[in-house]
Amino acid sequence: MPTVFIPAPLQSLTGGRSVVEAEGATVREVIASLDRAWPGLRDRIVEGGRLRPNISVAVDGVVSPLGLIEKVPPGAEVHFVAAIRGGAESPGGRSLRGPTCPAAFAR
């Protein structure tokens, strides 16, 4: 069974758990399993039948370009990762502050 690492902004939906197990042979099936256990989780990850645009999924440490159809082998580690963006720029084009994480999982 795959092990899913829950991002901090979603842990309120999983009762504070940061790591859970979920059934599924694809990312879509894993998300469906998570949503059965913790209703509402899917809506925070999926939009319009696809991963939200600011969310990526990594299976066994490899960020997938396939999204929901990515295969998930038994015992795999699945991570949902929010896109990293931004920072202000100085007049010379250098970043004035570090990268920020958008409210990818906020409602």
Query: What residues contact residue 31 under an 8 Å CB cut-off, 6+ apart?
Result: 24, 41, 42, 45, 46, 68
Please, which pLDDT band fits residue 54 given cuts at 50, 70 and 90? confident
- Which tokens belong to 84? 């990293």
User: What are the chain's domains?
Assistant: 3-82 (3.10.20.30)
- How do residues 26-43 score in pLDDT, each as one tens digit? 999 999 999 999 999 999
Average pLDDT over residues 14-19: 95
- Give me the percent of the chain exceeding a pLDDT of 70: 77
pLDDT at site 49: 93
